[in-house]
Amino acid sequence: MSELLKKLNEYLNGLPIKLQDHLHRTAKLGRELSILHEVNEEKVFVSCIAHDIAKKLNNDEILEESIQNKLTISFEEEKSPILMHGPLAAFWLRKKFKCKDQEIIDSVFFHTTGRPYMSQIEKVVFLADKVEPKKVESNPDLLEVLDVCQSDLDLAIFKYLEMKIRQLLNQGVIIHPLAIEARNFYMK
Ligand SMILES: [Fe+2]
Ligand SMILES: [Fe+2]
């Protein structure tokens, strides 16, 4: 695990500073939530550091790289290639970084949309990405989600997805079906 983290940190140095900072803030919150909810801290930390490694690519590059590597691409992902940055990062983790830990790979793969039946690690990584301090600062509505994260991960996921899906509908943009499935799954 430390070898993987070392390789990732070297890779991070080549990413834009803003992205590096987001990855570090996510990993810090991920660590705090792991301790609070007794989730494997190391796996969460590595997943958080890795989750956006494909985000330096633009939409065209994400699509091209996904096609070249024969990743499965849904029509929603084809229309909105940014939705593939998680699956592509998960693929890179396995191929370039030789990561064999399926829980880490899944956390990275599904970090954008969530999905039903998420592992505890997936939940913490998903939420840490969504409510790291900078994101809450730019959208104070997320404070409530951050607050619920302390006591109930499932409810926090539901609340976040409710908010996000509504926002995406208002913007008239593509909504990934997994986000809707996850929202329904985590509804009490
Ligand atoms: Fe992301
Ligand atoms: Fe992110």
Instruction: State the pTM of this model.
Output: 0.97
Average per-residue pLDDT in the chain? 98
Give residue 69 CA to ligand 2 midpoint distance, Å: 22
Domain ranges of the chain: 2-185
pLDDT tens track for 72-89: 999 999 999 999 999 999
Report, as an integer, the average pLDDT of 105-113. Answer: 98
The tokens for 136 are: 């809450």
Give residue 2 CA to ligand 1 midpoint distance, Å: 23
**Phi/psi of residue 140, each to 5°?**
-60, -15
Give residue 152 CA to ligand 1 midpoint distance, Å: 22
Q: What is the pLDDT of residue 1?
A: 78
CA distance 188 to 28: 29
Query: What's the angle, vertex CA 155, arms to CA 54 and CA 159, rounded to 5?
Result: 65
Q: What is the pLDDT of residue 63?
A: 98
The residues whose Cβ lies within 5 A of ligand 2, an ion, are 52, 129
Query: Looking at domain 2-185, which CATH architecture does it have?
Result: Orthogonal Bundle (1.10)
pLDDT tens track for 14-44: 999 999 999 999 999 999 999 999 999 999 9
Number of H helices, E strands in the chain: 12, 0
Longest Cα–Cα distance in the chain = 44
